[in-house]
A and B are shown apart, each in its own frame.
Chain A
Amino acid sequence: MALVAGGPVPPGFATAPVEAARRALLSKRAGEVARHWPLLAAGLGAAWPATFTEWAAGRPGNGSLRDGWDLARELRNHGALPPLGAEELATREVTLRYDGRSRPRPRRLPAVARTGGAVAVQLAGRVRLLRPATR
Chain B
Amino acid sequence: MQLRQFVRGRRMRRWRMRRITGRALPTAAPSASSTSPYGVGIGWRPEIAGFVADLPGLRFVEVVAEAVAPAGPLPKGLAELRGRGVTVVPHGVRLSLGGAEPVDPARVAHLAGVAALVDAPLVSEHIAFVRAGGLEAGHLLPLPRTREAVAAVVANVRRAQAELPVPLALEPIAALFGWPDDELDEAAFLTEILDATGALLLLDIANVHANARNRGGDPHTLLDRLPLERIAYVHVAGGAEQGGFYHDTHTDPVPTEVLDLVRELCARRRPPALLLERDGHYPPAVELRGELDALAAASGYPVIT
Interface residues of A (CB under 8 A from B): 1, 3-5, 11-14, 16-18, 20-21, 23-25, 28-29, 31-32, 35, 60-63
Which listed residue, A3, A5, A20, touches B141 by the CB 8 Å rule?
A3
Give, as a whole number of angstroms, the nearest-CB distance from A42 to chain B.
15
Q: How many residues of B contact A (CB 8 A)?
A: 22
Q: Which 5 A-B pairs have the closest CB atoms?
A: A12-B180, A17-B177, A21-B176, A17-B176, A61-B138
The answer for the CA separation of A11 and B244 in the assembled complex, in Å, is: 22
B138 to A20, Cβ gap below 8 A? no
Within 8 A of A (CB), among B228-278: 243-245, 247, 251
Cβ of B245: which chain A residues have Cβ within 8 Å of it? Answer: 17, 20, 24
A17 to B135, Cβ gap below 8 A? no
Interface residues of B (CB under 8 A from A): 133, 135-139, 141, 175-181, 214-215, 243-245, 247, 251, 280
Using CB atoms, name the residue of chain A closest to B181: A12
Are A5 and B247 CB-contacts (below 8 A) given A17-B214, A31-B280? no
B135 to A1, Cβ gap below 8 A? yes
Q: How many cross-chain pairs have Cβ atoms below 8 Å apart between A and B?
A: 56
Are A21 and B175 CB-contacts (below 8 A) given A3-B141, A28-B139, A60-B135? yes
B176 to A29, Cβ gap below 8 A? no
Cβ of A13: which chain B residues have Cβ within 8 Å of it? Answer: 177, 179-180
Are A60 and B136 CB-contacts (below 8 A) given A17-B214, A17-B245, A23-B243? yes
Give, as a whole number of angstroms, the nearest-CB distance from A68 to chain B.
13
Give, as a whole number of angstroms, the nearest-CB distance from A128 to chain B.
26
